[in-house]
Amino acid sequence: MEINGRTKLYGIIGNPVEHTLSPLIHGTFADMLGIDMVYVPFQVAQGELEAAVRGAYGLNICGMNVTVPYKNAVIPFLEEVDARAQAVGSVNTLVRGREGYVGHNTDMSGLRRAMEEDGISLRDEQVIVLGAGGVGRAVAFMCADSGAQKVYLVNRSAEKAECVAQEVNRALQRCGKDCVTAMPLAEYQKLLTGPKNRYIALQCTSVGLAPNVDDVVLEDGDFYHYVKFGYDLIYTPWQTRFMQCVQDNGGVAYNGLKMLLYQGIDAFELWTGCKVSRRNADRVYQKLQERLL
């Protein structure tokens, strides 16, 4: 493509960003739809986040994604934060506003769209969220906000899980919900009662991420008898140990690649106002698979 004075610039900020797949996603959609734009990874050193955000706005960068470790830290430097992003305390997409960037969270809408495409609804379901970090907090909010009957937030630190559960429940009070319950990881067996194969489980920690591919948050095979659908938000390796445990015990397992795709689609649509068709989404998903496998 020819880059000229009319070419719009987008990007992603984080540390590290060398292995991001976001340029593949956004560059391919731009080519498909004939949009004159480029998408560039920007590695931002610790302590330079505010300068990076202000500088990007001053350089007329039209929009950016935000990845670890800045999804929460970026919030004070924004003109405005979307209500849902404010509620989950995490921003991954910046849209250019009048005097600064407006923060959105497309991670959660992307996960919801990925699950819907796989034919899975959260409404009236019982959900186990493994991990109470920033991702676990956002996922717990998304599950409750999507109509889950009960969300169990399971974490090694009971104190952290309780704190996050209270925060999520407070954020949900506007819609009259209070369905997130904290549980220390050591007490997970309390969940193993009643009919088996009844939970949707979402693995929201970095455990099992390459190169530590043999690690898993829970080893106990009995736990996985109770999981009908398992989502690991990791996608490297393609088949995580968590996913294998779910499958070995009769459940259906998915990795996080579709979430990555759909969070990118939601960001792309926010930036450009263009809709991405299912056909184009499938074509980019295939490209992502080819890159990873």
Q: Is the preceding omega at residue 237 within 30 degrees of 0, hence cis? A: yes
Identify the residue whose tokens are 């088949």: 239
Could you name the CATH architecture of 8-104+258-292? Answer: 3-Layer(aba) Sandwich (3.40)
In the predicted structure, residue 1 carries a pLDDT above the cut 90? no
pLDDT tens profile 75-96 = 999 999 999 999 888 999 999 9
Q: β-strands 150-155, 126-130: how paired?
A: parallel
| Residue range(s) in the chain whose domain bears CATH number 3.40.50.10860 | 8-104+258-292
Euclidean distance between the first and final Cα of the chain, in Å?
27
Condensed to tens digits (0 to 9), the pLDDT of residues 14-28 reads 999 999 999 999 999
Whole-model pTM: value is 0.94
Q: In the chain, list all ranges with CATH 3.40.50.720.
A: 109-255
Cβ neighbours, 10 Å, residue 21: 18
CATH number assigned to the domain with residue range 109-255, chosen from the 4 options 3.40.1390.20, 3.30.750.24, 3.40.50.670, 3.40.50.720: 3.40.50.720
Q: What is the spatial order of strands in the sheet that 180-184 belongs to? A: 180-184, 150-155, 126-130, 199-203, 227-232, 252-254
Tell me the per-residue pLDDT of 121-180, one tens digit each, with 9 for 90 and over: 999 999 999 999 989 999 999 999 999 999 999 999 999 999 999 999 998 886 667 899
Q: What are the tokens at 166?
A: 């209270």
Catalytic residue positions, numbered: 71
